[in-house]
C-alpha cells in the first residue's frame, strides 16, 4: 500500500555553535501529506528557515530523522543527497536565481539536463509544457533578464517542476513581489497542490499567503506553536 506521506520529520533538533552554542530547533516532529500546501510561519529567529534547510537536505548537521518520498535521508553522504535533491525536490527562493544570459527555456531545462535521465527533446517538450501551464510559453525564447520580476518568479516555478519533484520547497517565494504577483504565485501553488497533487512547503512572512494555504505550522523559539 502506497503511503500518502510525502515528508516525515521526527524529533528534529538543531544547534548553532557561533558565537556560542544555541538550540535553534527543539525536537520537531510532523508529517506532510502528498498534495498538501503547507506554510511555515513565525517571527525572524523562530527557526522556520533553518527548518526548511534541514527538510531540504541542504543542512545535514541535525539530530532526529528525516524521510522524504518514503526514503530515509538522515545519514546519507553529501553526494547522495545532492543527487536526491536534484531528482525529488524543486526549489523556489525569494530571488529567482535564473541565469540572465540564458533563454527562459534553457533555464527551465537545466535541472533535467543535469540528471540526464531523458533525451534533450523530451526535456524541451516538458519545459514547454511547464511554461504553458504558467502562461509563459510566448516568452520561451527570450533571455531571462528581459522578463519582469513576476515573470521571472514564474519561470523559477516552471524550473522547479521540471523533474516532477516529490516536494517543492519555497523560501519566501513571494518576498520580492508586489501584491498582484504574490497572488499570482499563490494561485499557481494552490493549483499545483490541488489539481496536480504537488506537495508544497513554503516559508513565508506574508500572513494572507499563509492563511490561504492548506495548513500553517507557526513557529516560535524553535518549537511549533
How much is the pLDDT for 154?
Answer: 87
Peptide bond into 173 cis (omega under 30): no
Instruction: Round to whole Å and give the CA distance between 84 and 115.
Output: 10
How much is the pLDDT for 2?
Answer: 56
Q: What is the DSSP letter of 131?
A: H
Cα torsion for 207, 211, 212, 218, to the nearest 10°?
A: 100
Instruction: Round to whole Å and give the CA distance between 94 and 12.
Output: 25
How much is the pLDDT for 86?
Answer: 85
Pairing outcome for strands 223-224 and 215-220 = antiparallel
Cell of residue 29, nine digits:
516532529
202: left (phi over 0), alpha (psi -120 to 50) or beta: beta
CB atoms within 10 A of CB 195: 9
How much is the pLDDT for 143?
Answer: 92
What pTM does this model have?
Answer: 0.89
Grid coordinates 509544457 are at which residue?
A: 129
Question: Of 161, 169, 57, 151, whose CA–CA distance to 110 is shortest?
Answer: 161
How much is the pLDDT for 1?
Answer: 52
* pLDDT digit string (tens) for the chain, length 225 residues: 557 999 999 999 999 988 899 899 999 999 999 999 999 999 888 888 899 999 999 888 999 999 998 889 998 998 899 889 888 899 888 777 788 889 999 999 998 888 888 899 999 999 998 898 888 889 899 999 899 888 888 899 899 989 888 899 998 888 878 888 888 889 889 988 998 899 999 999 888 889 989 999 999 988 888
Give the fold, CATH level 3, of 35-61+76-224.
Rossmann fold (3.40.50)
Domain residue extents for the chain:
35-61+76-224
User: How far is CA 12 from its chain centroid?
Assistant: 19
Q: Are 193 and 199 in contact (CB under 8 A)?
A: yes
Question: Of 192, 195, 188, whose CA–CA distance to 173 is shortest?
Answer: 188
φ, ψ (nearest 5 deg) of residue 177? -110, 150
Instruction: Round to whole Å and give the CA distance between 45 and 24.
Output: 8
φ, ψ (nearest 5 deg) of residue 151? -65, -40
Helix (H, G, I), strand (E, B) or coil at 171: strand
Amino acid at each position: 500500500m502506497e503511503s500518502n506521506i510525502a515528508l516525515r520529520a521526527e524529533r528534529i533538533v538543531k544547534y548553532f555553535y557561533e558565537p556560542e552554542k544555541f538550540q535553534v530547533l527543539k525536537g520537531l516532529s510532523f508529517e506532510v501529506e502528498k498534495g498538501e500546501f503547507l506554510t511555515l510561519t513565525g517571527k525572524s529567529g523562530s527557526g522556520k528557515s533553518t527548518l526548511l534547510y534541514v527538510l531540504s537536505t541542504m543542512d545535514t548537521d541535525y539530530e532526529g530523522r528525516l524521510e522524504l518520498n518514503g526514503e530515509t535521508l538522515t545519514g546519507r553522504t553529501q553526494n547522495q543527497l545532492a543527487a536526491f535533491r536534484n531528482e525529488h525536490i524543486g526549489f523556489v527562493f525569494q530571488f529567482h536565481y535564473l541565469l540572465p544570459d540564458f533563454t527562459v527555456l534553457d533555464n527551465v531545462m537545466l535541472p533535467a539536463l543535469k540528471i540526464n535521465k531523458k533525451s534533450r527533446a523530451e526535456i524541451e517538450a516538458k519545459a514547454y509544457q511547464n511554461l504553458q501551464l504558467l502562461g509563459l510559453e510566448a516568452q520561451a525564447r527570450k533571455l531571462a533578464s528581459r522578463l519582469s520580476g513576476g515573470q521571472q518568479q514564474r519561470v523559477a516555478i516552471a524550473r522547479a517542476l521540471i523533474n516532477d519533484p516529490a516536494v517543492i520547497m519555497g523560501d519566501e517565494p513571494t518576498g520580492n513581489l508586489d501584491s498582484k504577483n504574490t497572488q499570482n504565485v499563490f494561485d499557481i501553488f494552490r493549483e499545483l497542490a490541488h489539481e496536480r497533487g504537488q506537495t508544497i512547503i513554503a516559508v513565508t512572512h506574508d500572513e494572507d499567503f499563509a492563511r490561504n494555504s492548506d495548513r500553517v505550522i507557526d513557529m516560535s523559539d524553535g518549537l511549533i506553536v
